[in-house]
Structure 1
Amino acid sequence: MFTMAYNETTVYATDEELAAEVLFKGYPDSLLEFAFAASLIFMLIGIPGNLITIIALACCKKFRNATALFVINLHICNLTFCSIVLPMTATTYLTSHWVFGKTMCSVYPLLKYALNGTAHFTVVAITVNRYIMVCHPLMYARIYKKHVLILSLISTWAVAFLLFMPSYFEVWGRFDLEPKGGRCTMLPDKNDICPKKFFLCLAFVGPYLIISVCYGRIWWTVRKAAKKRTACIARGVPPPTLSNSGSDTSVADTSRACNELSVYESSTDDDANKQNSPVVLTPGGRSIVQFFTPTFRKPKDQNKPKLPTRKDKKLATMILAILVSFALCHVPIMLLRSLYGEYKSDPVAYLIAHLFDDSAAFISPIIYVIMSSEYRQAYISLFMNLKSNTCNAFKV
């Protein structure tokens, strides 16, 4: 028989005791069926969506860069979540029992928290990558060397899992079944310590602040660049490219201002811009891939710059989509955990918050891939290659 311990929470000794516990007591059957269906949809979209994205970016030589590696890392994390965590979550909604045993009752929350942490840290890595790419382009090739990239990718996983290992070994908090919440989660240990709120701030509030500041800085930099470009055009001074030495080639103040703009003239977002855009070189002679580039066009009225440009609006839309999606997925569960200790008494709020949190695993491909014309081209290339190989196989 199970015993009561650890501050009025149940400690289960065997797999049979866990499986015998009825979960989601008082929850409407229709609500649990909805949660099961939603989790199933997340799996059906998330598993192929993330897998196709990984294959498309890995197979396309055009995306052999740091940003693509971080995006692939994010989708590997999401694929793992959709393939392991979501099936157990959906089964629990369907059966109202934990049927996976005592060991998995500790592994499940470890994976859930650590994978969420890995995803958050990877989003931060992508954000910092783009921030340096746009705001400090001459430093980009110096920072993102091969060994630094490998270390960064390993760190996103290692740090996330190491953070939750003390709870796995019941040193700082513990992982066990919470019948009221209907899932295995982090609970107070024998010393009545539960670091859930600490991890909540570390893995969510911190990353969200970093993301907001970096994208705000990116937006401000591009807006400033657009204004300087317009001033250069109005004065008839073309923006020069940077030489291999990385030094300014301008003499007048206006030319120096225009020189700062040349880093934005090489864009990977639109293939059409590549033919007419100058190449930006680092001191080592390496080209820098740019993602945020206002279109270089001569305004109709040189004395009245028209801002924001089409590129400015596109950038703003992407930034807004990233921040809003990140917030919508994780803010509900954060607010419920932080502000309402007894939120589990409201089944609708509890399940909806968890579903939003789980949905992040399949929304990422939409935000980071679908909104980019180049990533869409990677999808098309992958499917065209598959179609071509299939046709050749039938011909043989």
Structure 2
Amino acid sequence: MADMWNVTEDIASNVKPSELSKYSPGLLTFAAIVTGFIMLIGLFGNLLTVVALLKCPKVRNVAAAFIISLCIADFLFCAMVLPFAISGFWTRTWSHGGVLCKLVPFLRYGNVGVSLLSIALITLNRYIMIAHHSWYSRVYRKHNIALMIVFSWMFSYGMQIPTLIGVWGKFDYDAELGTCSIVPDDNGRSAKTALFVIAFIVPALLILICYARIFWVVHSSEQRMREHHRSQTSQGTLNNGSDVKRSTIKDTRETKARRNEWRITKMVLAIFLSFLVCYLPITIAKVADSHVHYPVFHITGYLLLYASACVNPIIYVIMNAQYRAAYAAALCCPLARLTGLTSEKWNERHGYSFSNTRTVLSQVSLGESRVDPRGISAPGR
């Protein structure tokens, strides 16, 4: 205990008033209040998402496992990191001892890594589903999904172990930032740049490459289908009334399936873009204004960074009708009524059909859950 108080006193003695004075008391109070709202929204939204995904069969599928991992990481960020951010804005220093000064940044960087890797895994799921569907059932088996999730957590936290034990940078109080972060070790080494490249740049590039490929595949597929339809029409192959009716029904189902796949893909893209919007401003601020000439720019960057932990549930509500229904059921309805989300009537009302046997893509889409016509559960369930 005495050592902890000594560390706290050392931290207080190293504070540079000239740096902290660049943030006005009013601005820091505003930041603390906004961070508090973000924390409450993030705790409620992410917990509700996990409950809805676990209890509602309609939205419990392969990709939901990665969504749950993402929500848990964001929930832990709100519960274990943001309270100390609020304290830092309020007191303008670190007053929680040396142990937490190492643990809190360790959790902060780890949860950020898990969040981005979870988004990358969801995007990879979409890419394989759309561009290499023949691989899907082999890749997304239950044990493979579990390994992917475990890897995302172990990698995000494991790559920080050298910093935690002080052999590649160290977690300590940064007097310039006024909070605990990664600082150079006794040999002048720091892991900040490497962590940024490995845990941010590489997953972001993977996501961008996957989406470029997804857009290309979808565009090419639509072109081929239009050409095929025109070819059939021009050759008079649909000269029978019943054939025309069957073809129209098939085209309608395929159109609904493609529209739903595209809508879900856009939702995942929105999650990634929101991540970039939340993380890039503070990164730019640290590089372009390292001496804090524009405090509002830095505070805005911090608030956007914290908002990343609560924005995903909002995206689900805005862009996905199934998640809205699952949230409403989890909040307002008894557990017995949650199974209503799997009813035929509910599916038809939202444009889905169990009789679509042309493709099993919709069985494993984000926010969907299908049953194979043969009575076998969809892959990865």
Contact 1:167 1:173 in 2 (8 A): yes
1:338: how far off?
Answer: 4.2
Indicate the residue corresponding to 2:274 in structure 1.
325
**Partner Cα distance (1:221, 1:203) in 2:** 28
Contact 1:292 1:315 in 2 (8 A): no
Indicate the residue corresponding to 1:362 in structure 2.
310
Contact 2:267 2:320 in 1 (8 A): no
Indicate the residue corresponding to 1:98 in structure 2.
94
Contact 1:343 1:349 in 2 (8 A): no
- State the Cα RMSD in Å: 3.0
What amino acid does structure 2 have at the position aligned with 1:330?
Y
Alignment pair present for 1:216 and 2:212 = yes
1:199: how far off?
Answer: 0.9
Number of residue-to-residue matches in the alignment: 317
After TM superposition, the structure 1 stretch with the greater mean CA deviation from structure 2, 119-128 or 345-354, is 345-354
Indicate the residue corresponding to 1:14 in structure 2.
7
Percent identity among equivalent residues? 33
**Partner Cα distance (1:150, 1:387) in 2:** 27
What is the SS of the residue equivalent to 2:181?
strand
Alignment pair present for 1:231 and 2:227 = yes
**Partner Cα distance (2:101, 2:68) in 1:** 29
After TM superposition, the structure 1 stretch with the greater mean CA deviation from structure 2, 368-377 or 172-181, is 368-377
Pick one of 29, 32, 40 that aligns with 2:28: 32
**Partner Cα distance (2:119, 2:272) in 1:** 11
Contact 2:102 2:164 in 1 (8 A): yes
Contact 2:105 2:181 in 1 (8 A): yes
Contact 1:50 1:78 in 2 (8 A): yes
Q: Identify if the C-alpha distance between structure 1 residues 368 and 131 changes in structure 2 by more than 3 Å, giving closer, same or farther.
A: farther
Where does structure 1 differ by over 6 angstroms across 4 or more consecutive aligned residues? 273-276
Indicate the residue corresponding to 1:352 in structure 2.
300
Q: Identify if the C-alpha distance between structure 1 residues 292 and 327 changes in structure 2 by more than 3 Å, giving closer, same or farther.
A: farther
What is the SS of the residue equivalent to 1:232?
helix
Deviation per CA, 1:82-112, whole angstroms, max 9, x where unpaired? Answer: 1110011101111223121110000011001
What is the SS of the residue equivalent to 1:235?
helix
Per the normalisation by structure 2, the TM-score is 0.75
What is the SS of the residue equivalent to 2:188?
coil
Alignment pair present for 1:293 and 2:293 = no
**Partner Cα distance (1:355, 1:117) in 2:** 18
**Partner Cα distance (2:197, 2:264) in 1:** 28
Deviation per CA, 1:308-352, whole angstroms, max 9, x where unpaired? Answer: xxx86x578546533431221111222234455x24454222222
Pick one of 356, 371, 386 that aligns with 2:319: 371
What is the SS of the residue equivalent to 2:327?
helix
What is the SS of the residue equivalent to 2:93?
coil
What amino acid does structure 1 have at the position aligned with 2:298?
Y
After TM superposition, the structure 1 stretch with the greater mean CA deviation from structure 2, 77-86 or 326-335, is 326-335
Indicate the residue corresponding to 2:340 in structure 1.
none
**Partner Cα distance (1:386, 1:128) in 2:** 35
Alignment pair present for 1:41 and 2:37 = yes
What amino acid does structure 1 have at the position aligned with 2:69?
N
What amino acid does structure 1 have at the position aligned with 2:93?
H
Contact 2:124 2:210 in 1 (8 A): yes
Indicate the residue corresponding to 2:125 in structure 1.
129
Indicate the residue corresponding to 1:175 in structure 2.
171
What is the SS of the residue equivalent to 1:171?
coil
1:78: how far off?
Answer: 0.3
After TM superposition, the structure 1 stretch with the greater mean CA deviation from structure 2, 80-89 or 57-66, is 57-66
**Partner Cα distance (1:166, 1:47) in 2:** 30
